[in-house]
């Protein structure tokens, strides 16, 4: 826990924070100007330094390089003193423990750079062991090419060392390459250090340029975090170095680490431009919840259709044509890359209406494999009296046929040439001849319950909304109980539910999994700050609906931190409050 570091914005493991010195520093950032090292205890004994709030002081330490024997680390371990100023403890990822400081510097950082798995293992080990509201410092390794990936992994603080050293060695750094200075005919940069003729550009100038390039890259990273778009940037940036691509993919495999820190909703759009997008937490989480929490409640046949460029799908011209042919006689499920399958009730739920993908008309084998796996899991969980595939030949039909063979199904195909041509639509309508329509009431009730399942857990929709009525028009559905008390409202921007106090109480009284934040003896207004949190459920994610309760208040709102972060942090907004009642 810390008094001198506060997180303001989150994008997965990456954060925009504030190093609360007398002159605050916005992170991720270079901290050379404010960092003071009290020195190593290997060379001599050192007293506790007289730090102050203008500097970030690295406390006396013994640094262990990678591979140091465990017994050696245990024998020479240093307990950081309790000081009243901003401080840094030096730790090894192989034996890290919380030291009560504001930041932690990784001593074995040099040994993990250049190796994707080692880097990710080290970052995850440290971040899981230290409090969530403390900063992580990587010294001597940051370059314009790697700093975006390092920030994405969860590193907050850097220094100029690597950039300066490479510059004095005659290496000119950019975001995609490290050039030998003698190989450059011109300077591909317009920073202040590069505003001179190439023949007058010295190695000292090269070092200045490298630092400028690093600072510029960090500014881009901070902007991307604020926009919730850092992952899109990293997918492109990591391509410039194979080990960075490996690190990004290794990080994707750390599901628990990234999923805990990734919001369940956000305003930003996902750009699906590469196969790596399929591995994103938001994509994998949606596929997992659809295939483990969602349950079809309609008794009608299933119609599989292609997605559309317009979001939500139901507002697109093609899907309007599908609806005209189906006439509510079947349950509509869209197939799409990179999302997988999207039941009609979840078409607005993040990220189903928050992505854009490259449209070529050709599916990669990775896409086919992913979508077919999701479709198979979906059909194994949900029973239908009949399955109709209203999909084109390329890609879509191949995926459906793979699943048809695996599950030994008998699927009807209704597309002759194109899904929206007259013959195909007529065939689709004829295939549903004799099927009864389901009502608007059934459609809206099932939508509300499906969203509750998705957000809260398998079966939550029935547990929480067994006897309800719905008002207003889709997608702004209001949920009321049998006595006309409003319980929740559907939020079309994210496809989620916003509870009232009555709805929160019904949630607690139901068997649906709850997300609770326990607070101290005060009545929150507007927000709950982290120091006021006594405890929080560990499965809370940023964006989750939460019930907030303490000795003096009962409230409902939306989480701004993940659960463990709420319980550990001493600064920052833990939850926004929508409704509150004093006890």
* The token pair that represents 573 in the structure block: 């907004």
Provide long-range contacts, Cβ within 8 A and 24+ apart, for 19-23: 19/56, 19/86, 19/102, 19/103, 19/135, 19/157, 20/86, 21/53, 21/54, 21/55, 21/56, 21/86, 22/52, 22/53, 22/54, 23/54
Q: Look at residue 359 in the predicted model and tell me its pLDDT.
A: 67
Q: What pLDDT, on a 0 to 100 scale, did the predictor assign at position 185?
A: 93
Phi, psi (deg, nearest 5) at residue 10: -130, 140
Q: Which two tokens stand for residue 29?
A: 């950032």
DSSP string, 490-523: EETTTTEEEE-HHHHHHHHHSSSPP-EEEE-SS-
CA distance 217 to 252: 23
Q: 175 is written with which tokens?
A: 């975001």
Distance CA 212, CA 392 (A): 51
Q: What's the count of helices (H) and strands (E) in the chain, helices before strands?
A: 18, 29
Mean pLDDT of residues grouped by 10 in the chain (583 residues)?
87 96 97 92 84 93 81 80 92 89 94 95 96 95 97 98 97 95 93 94 97 98 96 92 95 94 91 86 96 97 95 95 97 95 97 84 88 98 97 92 97 95 97 96 96 96 94 94 95 96 96 96 95 96 97 97 94 95 93
Q: Other C-beta atoms within 10 Å of 7: how many?
A: 23
Instruction: Give the span between the Cα atoms of 1 and 430, in whole angstroms.
Output: 65
Token code pair at residue 336: 């799409």
pLDDT computed for residue 59 by the predictor: 93
End-to-end CA distance of the chain: 30
Nearest-angstrom CA–CA distance, 565 and 539:
11
Residue (of 573, 576, 567) closest to 132 by Cα position: 567
| Tokens (6 digits) for 422 | 């007259």
State residue 363's pLDDT score.
87
HEC states along 451-479? HHHHHHCCCHHHHHCCCEEEECCCCCCEE
Pairing of strands 468-471, 545-549: unpaired
Q: Do the Cβ atoms of 388 and 357 come closer than 8 Å?
A: no
pLDDT of residue 360: 63
Q: Read off the pLDDT of residues 472-496 as tens digits, 9 standing for 90 and up.
A: 999 999 999 989 999 999 999 999 9
Distance CA 270, CA 266 (A): 10
Strands 56-58 and 35-37: parallel
Average pLDDT score over the chain: 94
Instruction: Give the Cβ contact number of residue 24 at 10 Å.
Output: 12
Give the separation between CA 552 and CA 522, rounded to whole angstroms.
6
In tens, the pLDDT along 178-235 reads 999 999 999 999 999 999 999 999 999 999 999 999 999 999 999 999 999 999 999 9
**Which residue matches tokens 């009560």?**
100
Tokens representing residue 269 in the block = 């759009």
């Amino acid at each position: 826990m810390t008094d001198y570091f506060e997180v303001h914005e989150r994008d997965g493991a990456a954060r925009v924070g504030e190093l609360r010195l007398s002159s605050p520093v916005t992170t991720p950032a270079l901290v050379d100007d404010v960092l003071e090292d009290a020195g190593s205890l290997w060379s001599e004994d050192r007293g506790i330094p007289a730090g102050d709030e203008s500097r970030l002081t690295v406390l006396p330490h013994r640094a262990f390089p990678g591979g140091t024997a465990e017994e050696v680390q245990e024998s020479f371990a240093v307990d950081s003193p309790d000081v009243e100023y901003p401080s840094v403890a030096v730790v090894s990822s192989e034996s890290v423990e919380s030291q009560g400081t504001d930041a932690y510097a990784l001593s074995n950082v040099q040994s993990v750079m250049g190796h994707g798995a080692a880097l990710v293992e080290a970052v995850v080990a440290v971040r899981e062991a230290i409090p969530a509201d403390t900063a992580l410092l990587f010294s001597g390794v940051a370059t314009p090419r790697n700093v975006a990936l390092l920030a994405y992994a969860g590193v907050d603080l850097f220094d100029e060392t690597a950039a300066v050293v490479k510059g004095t060695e005659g290496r000119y750094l950019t975001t995609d390459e490290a050039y030998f200075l003698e190989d450059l005919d011109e300077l591909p940069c317009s920073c202040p250090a590069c505003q001179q003729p190439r023949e007058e550009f010295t190695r000292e100038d090269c070092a200045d340029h490298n630092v400028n390039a690093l600072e510029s890259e960090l500014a881009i990273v901070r902007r991307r975090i604020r926009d919730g778009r850092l992952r899109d940037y990293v997918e492109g940036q990591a391509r410039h170095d194979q080990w960075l691509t490996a690190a990004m993919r290794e990080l994707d495999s750390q599901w628990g680490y990234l999923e805990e820190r990734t919001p369940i909703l956000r305003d930003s759009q996902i750009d699906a431009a590469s196969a790596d997008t399929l591995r994103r937490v938001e994509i994998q989480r949606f596929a997992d919840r659809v295939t483990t929490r969602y349950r079809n409640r309609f008794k009608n046949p299933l119609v599989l259709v292609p997605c559309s460029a317009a979001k939500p799908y139901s507002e697109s011209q093609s899907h309007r044509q599908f609806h005209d042919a189906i006439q509510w006689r079947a349950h509509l499920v869209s197939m799409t890359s990179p999302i997988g399958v999207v039941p009609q009730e979840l078409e607005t739920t993040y990220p189903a209406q928050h992505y854009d993908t490259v449209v070529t008309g050709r599916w990669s084998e990775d896409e086919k494999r992913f979508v077919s796996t999701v479709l198979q899991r979906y059909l194994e969980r949900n029973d239908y009296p009949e399955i109709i595939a209203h999909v084109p030949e390329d890609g879509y039909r191949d995926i459906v046929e793979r699943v048809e063979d695996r599950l030994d199904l008998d699927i009807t195909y209704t597309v002759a040439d194109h899904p929206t041509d007259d013959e195909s639509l007529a065939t689709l309508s004829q295939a549903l001849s004799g099927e009864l329509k389901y009502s608007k009431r059934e459609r809206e009730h099932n939508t509300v319950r499906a969203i509750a399942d998705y957000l809260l857990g398998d079966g939550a929709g029935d547990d929480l909304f067994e006897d309800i009525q719905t008002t207003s028009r889709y997608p702004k559905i209001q949920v009321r109980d049998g006595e006309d008390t409003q319980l929740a409202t559907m939020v079309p921007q994210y496809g989620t539910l916003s509870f009232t106090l009555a709805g929160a109480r019904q949630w607690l009284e139901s068997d649906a999994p709850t997300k609770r934040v326990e607070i101290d003896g005060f009545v929150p207004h507007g927000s709950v700050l982290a120091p006021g949190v006594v405890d929080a459920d560990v499965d809370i994610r940023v964006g989750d609906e939460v019930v907030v309760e303490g000795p003096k208040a009962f409230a409902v709102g939306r989480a701004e931190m993940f659960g463990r972060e709420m319980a550990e942090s001493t600064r920052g907004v833990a939850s926004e409050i929508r409704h509150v009642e004093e006890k």
